[in-house]
Structure 1
Amino acid sequence: MRDMGVRVGHWTGEHTGCTVLLFEEAVLASGEVRGGAPASREIELLDPLRSNTGVDAVLLTGGSAFGLAAADGVMQWLAERGRGVPTPGGTVPIVPTLGLYDLDGTGNVPAAAQGYEACDAAMAPFEPALDGPVGAGRGATVGQWRGVTLPSGLRTATVSAGPVTVTALAAVNAFGEPGPLDRGLLRPEGFAAGGFGRNTTIGVVVTNARLDKVECALVAQGAHDGLAKAISPVHTRMDGDAFIAAATGALPASVDVVRALAVEAVAEAVGDAA
């Protein structure tokens, strides 16, 4: 993703982790939450009605709501480098953060130190692995809707139309699973798995096109459309599915084209989790 001005870094623990996307300069971004049980931080400012005009990084993290504290380390790392919104008291880095549920009862969750470490890792001379049980995808699983737990992880895909490119990066931790819905497993009284599972698919789509904040919101909607193509059942009350869309480039492009690419990129990335 470095060709689009994005550096990616992970901290990977035994059962959890976090993944940071550092932008070379603040970029326009928006997002959308469709799942019923989200864990997030600084998402409201992505609304096109809010005054924010750029984000410095995006963090995807395990640890459920506890893992949101990893964003403190990302903010510290950026502030030390003068990144953020200037204020009389110093710069304030803008780091929207999405969390997924991978708690294992040990109390080990990403914290500020791990967010900081992920930023350091993003500055390594090589691009890290973007697929598999790494970073925010370390503890990801799928399939609880039918009473099983299948390993998953972080997934990525890039699609293009001419010079316009969209890359999707997702931590696939869904209550459902990739593939078509087996309707025979649905019961009127509810899912066979019953209660709360290890759930939520979170991700980022990045394009080299020039978009405004409203258009980024439309692309984030497209990311969810891609998720709906790949996961069944999707956006359940047990999930906190959320996507952020960021535009890093100056390439003119129709938002409808970028949104269509986002749909395909997310569907391709998440579908590979099967």
Structure 2
Amino acid sequence: MRPGSTNSLTDVSGLLVGNAEDHRLKSGVTVVVCDRPATAAVKILGGAPGTRETDLLEPENTVAAVDAIVLAGGSAFGLDAASGVQARLRETGRGFAVGDHRIPIVPAAILFDLMNGGDKAWGRYPPYRELGYDAAQAAAKTFAIGSAGAGVGALTAGLKGGLGTASTVLSDGTTIAALVAVNAVGSVGFGDRGHFLAAPFEKNGEFGGLGLPATMPQDADHIITKLSTHEPGGATTIAVIATDAVLTKAEAKRLASAAHDGFARAIWPAHTPMDGDLIFALATGTSGRAFADTDAIALCAAASATMARAIARGVYAATPAEGDVLPTWRQKFGDAPR
């Protein structure tokens, strides 16, 4: 298995990604726009999710495909971003046809970034609807990671979080890719070290190439969280796992479930009562390949590994900004001996 040409979600043909952010606010929005409606599902394993239009993604419900997926900061206020994305898609004639009307189907999930040092005095209405519109308008094959979009104000235990992405091409040519905004309660490293928990899955030094520690730190089993380190509150890691394979809604939900293993391999602890950890799955079907049960094992394993890589990349790529309450990975570990 190898990364795709851009090592990003847009290696899955039929998908574009757009970011919009407000650096004074220290918050933003990331949008995945589907060229054509894509089969979608969702799996929520965190205890504190914030969502819009996720019920329709259940396999037994009518609508089978979506036009876009939104990942946003802002806690519940950030759910307004989906309205902005809908507005942009409606302008272009996208949406589920009902009589003479078209209704863009845009599920969304949010993370909590209200206490990260940004100015949240936005007046009567929060800015997320406009940020959603701008992110959808900016959707392209290339996009920024780290302190961008939904990851611009994200934090983890002891470090800034960020927006991460990664891709994998299987031996038969099928592509699977992840996009994630990392704002976890837990830690992404071994104790107070620069080594990432996701190290076993790293490709081509994509998040520093440190590998695993030469000897396992004695504090590797210590539970390090935002709560234990008295850091700013708020949490949740939200993500998209996507493939160009042909999947049903039920198969897409199984893919989302498997991708949660990537959370557990890259963040510890994950799926806590304080996190709203959630993964959307998208299947564009552009490869034309359907999967038998035995093939699906490889696809699900790759989903887990690719998600773990994307999480580490998001934290590794974060950049410092005025008013930050936590350091970036490079600020804390970039010049440290290992």
TM-score w.r.t. the length of structure 2 is 0.73
Q: Which secondary structure state, in structure 1, belongs to the residue aligned with residue 147 of structure 2? A: coil
* 8 A contact 1:43–1:97 mirrored in 2: yes
The structure with more radius of gyration: 2
Q: Match of 1:239? A: 275
1: distance between equivalents of 2:146 and 2:49? Answer: 23
Tell me which of 166, 170, 183 is aligned to 1:173: 183
2: distance between equivalents of 1:225 and 1:55? Answer: 24
2: distance between equivalents of 1:186 and 1:121? Answer: 37
* 8 A contact 1:137–1:152 mirrored in 2: yes
Q: Which secondary structure state, in structure 2, belongs to the residue aligned with residue 117 of structure 1? A: helix
2: distance between equivalents of 1:41 and 1:80? Answer: 21
2: distance between equivalents of 1:21 and 1:157? Answer: 14
Deviation string, structure 1 residues 104-152 (Cα, Å, up to 9, x no partner): 46244542111111111115xx6222x2100000001100xxxx4x111
Identical-residue share of aligned pairs (%)? 39
* 8 A contact 2:12–2:176 mirrored in 1: no
* Structure 1 residue 179 displacement after superposition: 2.9
Q: Which runs of 5+ in 1 are unaligned?
A: none
Deviation string, structure 1 residues 210-254 (Cα, Å, up to 9, x no partner): 111110000000111111111001111110000001001222333
Q: Which secondary structure state, in structure 1, belongs to the residue aligned with residue 102 of structure 2? A: coil
Tell me which of 50, 64, 89 is aligned to 2:61: 50
Q: Match of 2:73? A: 62
What is the Cα-based RMSD across aligned positions, in Å? 2.1
1:232-271 counterparts in 2 under 5 A? 232-249=268-285, 250-253=288-291, 254-271=295-312
Tell me which of 128, 133, 142 is aligned to 1:127: 142
* 8 A contact 2:11–2:175 mirrored in 1: no
2: distance between equivalents of 1:53 and 1:152? Answer: 33
Q: Which secondary structure state, in structure 2, belongs to the residue aligned with residue 57 of structure 1? A: strand
1:91-130 counterparts in 2 under 5 A? 91-104=102-115, 106-108=120-122, 109-123=126-140, 127-129=142-144
Tell me which of 221, 234, 255 is aligned to 1:198: 234
Structure with greater strand share of residues: 1
Q: Match of 1:32? A: 43
* 8 A contact 2:148–2:163 mirrored in 1: yes
Deviation string, structure 1 residues 128-178 (Cα, Å, up to 9, x no partner): 22x2100000001100xxxx4x11100111112120111100000000011
* 8 A contact 2:78–2:110 mirrored in 1: yes
Amino acid at match of 2:148: V
Deviation string, structure 1 residues 57-97 (Cα, Å, up to 9, x no partner): 00000001100001101111111222111113611111010
Amino acid at match of 2:58: D
1:150-165 counterparts in 2 under 5 A? 150-162=159-171, 163-165=173-175
* 8 A contact 1:168–1:265 mirrored in 2: yes
Q: Match of 1:219? A: 255
Q: Match of 1:210? A: 246
Decide which moves more: 226-235 or 88-97: 88-97
Aligned residues: 264
Change (3 A) 1:106 1:191: closer
1: distance between equivalents of 2:282 and 2:67? Answer: 11
* 8 A contact 1:224–1:263 mirrored in 2: yes
- Displaced runs of 4+ in structure 1, greater than 4 A? 193-196
2: distance between equivalents of 1:186 and 1:207? Answer: 33
Q: Match of 1:183? A: 221
